[in-house]
């Protein structure tokens, strides 16, 4: 085996031990060998290296059935941390939510700040604060209501973000890996991560924020469908005559939602559609959708769920996507 191949095998084995110990929390070397299928000799070398790095803690010994006591080892979930920052809408106002998350997905610290006029300098200020407090942060994930094209934010509900090369700016400023994701894409990813479904299913989320145009995210075969330049799901460009920044009466809103659902269903035939909005209850939606279908029938019948959990799904999705980046980060 050449040197490069040996290094790759070693890193694969290290990741195997990391994930195993993360799942079981504590284990002896013998237990790790049994769980991973690696030899005790290999486990000894790998655990020693992980302890030296600080990724694993050695704890008190435990009885081993009459023989010499065996040391136990605990995964250090705080060895690397992720900073997850969400620009979200709450009751018509912009809020920046920032969370420090460890490798077990546990939130170490969380803050929320109301932002009257959002621009990327707000992110810089908060990131500096968190990096000073938590130097173990290795990855930054940012969720925005927008899309990046050729490195610059091309579509956004926030005028001050348009044209900003956010990933490039943050990576240059903080020398860390940065992930930026659209809010609805992240929410659909977060929703699916918390549900039991077939990976081949097509799941669509449509978000209707107050006083902003709607957006859509699509997950298929376990991955977010991006489309050209990441523009899949920009349904605010559908030829629907509506001013999203004004109050819309309920009857008009219902008709618009039905029209969008009908369009999505005809084009994608998804298994499930999540309607993120606060104006229609599930029981009312069933009746309204059935009435609409009498005039505009569909050959495909998706499971349509009315949900008010957009913000929590957005948070879970960004956390999962950022942790995925963090776990792939190696020394």
| Per-residue tens of pLDDT for the chain, all 331 residues | 566 677 888 888 888 898 898 888 889 998 999 999 999 999 999 999 999 999 999 987 766 555 667 789 999 999 999 999 998 766 666 788 999 999 989 999 999 988 766 667 778 888 999 999 999 999 999 998 888 888 888 877 666 777 788 899 999 999 999 999 999 999 999 999 888 888 889 999 999 988 788 999 999 998 999 999 888 999 989 998 888 877 888 889 999 999 999 999 999 999 999 999 988 999 899 999 999 999 999 888 999 999 999 999 999 999 999 998 888 765 4
Q: How far apart are CA 269 and CA 278, in angstroms?
A: 24
Alpha-carbon span 256 to 74, nearest angstrom:
54
For residue 131, the model assigns a pLDDT of 96
| pLDDT of 2 | 63
Enumerate the β-bridge partners of residue 86: 97, 143
Instruction: Spell out where 167-284 has E strands.
Output: 177-182, 202-207, 215-220, 223-224, 272-276
pTM for this model (two decimals): 0.85
Q: Roughly what angle, to the nearest 10 degrees, separates helices 40-53 and 3-24? A: 80
CB 112 within 8 A of CB 119: no
The DSSP H or E segment spanning 281 is: none
Q: 278: part of which helix (H) or strand (E)?
A: none
Of the candidates 316, 331, 330, which has an alpha carbon nearest to the alpha carbon of residue 141?
A: 316
Q: Which two tokens stand for residue 301?
A: 């019948």
Instruction: Give 148's strand partners.
Output: 153
- Cα 175 → chain centroid: 22
Say how far residue 128 (Cα) sits from the centre of its chain.
22
């Amino acid at each position: 085996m050449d040197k490069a191949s040996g290094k790759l095998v070693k890193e694969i084995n290290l990741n195997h031990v990391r994930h195993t110990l993360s799942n079981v929390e504590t284990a002896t070397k013998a237990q790790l060998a049994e769980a991973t299928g690696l030899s005790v000799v290999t486990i000894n070398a790998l655990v020693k290296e992980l302890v030296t790095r600080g990724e694993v803690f050695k704890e008190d010994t435990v009885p081993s059935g009459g023989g010499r006591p065996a040391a136990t080892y605990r995964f250090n979930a705080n060895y690397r941390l992720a900073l997850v920052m969400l620009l979200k809408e709450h009751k018509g106002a912009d809020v920046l939510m920032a969370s420090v998350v460890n490798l077990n997905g546990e939130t170490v610290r969380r803050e929320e700040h109301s932002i009257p006029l959002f621009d990327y300098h707000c992110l810089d200020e908060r990131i500096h604060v968190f990096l000073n407090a938590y130097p173990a942060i290795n990855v930054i994930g940012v969720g925005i209501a927008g899309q990046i094209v050729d490195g610059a934010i091309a579509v956004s509900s926030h005028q001050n973000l348009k044209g900003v090369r956010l990933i490039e700016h943050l990576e240059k400023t903080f020398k860390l890996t940065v992930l930026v994701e659209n809010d609805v894409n992240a929410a659909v990813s977060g929703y699916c991560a918390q549900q039991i479904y077939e990976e081949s299913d097509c799941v669509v989320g449509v978000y209707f924020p107050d006083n902003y145009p709607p957006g859509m995210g699509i997950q298929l075969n376990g991955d977010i469908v991006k489309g050209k330049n990441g523009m899949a799901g920009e349904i605010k460009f559908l030829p629907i005559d509506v001013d999203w920044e004004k109050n819309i009466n309920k009857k008009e809103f219902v008709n618009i939602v039905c029209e969008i659902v009908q369009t999505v269903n005809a084009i994608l035939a998804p298994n499930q559609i999540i309607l993120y909005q606060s104006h229609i209850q599930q029981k009312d939606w069933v009746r309204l959708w059935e009435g609409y279908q009498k005039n505009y029938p569909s050959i495909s019948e998706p499971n349509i769920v009315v949900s008010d959990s957009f913000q929590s799904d957005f948070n879970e999705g960004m956390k999962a996507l950022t942790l995925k980046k963090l776990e792939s980060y190696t020394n």
